[in-house]
Amino acid sequence: MARMQVDVLMFAGVRDRAGTARVRLELPDGSTVCAAVEALAGRFPAIREQLSRVAYALNCCYVQSSAYLKDGDELALIPPVSGG
């Protein structure tokens, strides 16, 4: 099965709990954002509970978790913002 690589950017609390701001995932071709998020939850269990509340941006455009990924994509996990 062919594989692809996707760069994932993590911000705020997700970044803090993962201990890194960027990670490269290797996924099967045809994977979705949801599959990438599941792979991240397996790799960084400390962020699992936060992942249900993040927004996803794929190559700088907001997307749903059902969006398909391509080799070389950049996926950003954007947690909710609070404060004033």
In a domain, 84, yes or no: no
Per-residue confidence band for 81, with pLDDT thresholds at 50, 70 and 90: confident
Total number of domains in the chain: 1
With contact defined as beta carbons under 8 Å apart, do 3 and 68 qualify?
no
Q: Model confidence over 45-63: pLDDT tens digits?
A: 999 999 999 999 999 999 9
Q: Model confidence over 1-38: pLDDT tens digits?
A: 699 999 999 999 999 999 999 999 999 999 999 999 99
In a domain, 43, yes or no: yes
In a domain, 37, yes or no: yes
Which structural domain range is residue 23 located in? 3-78
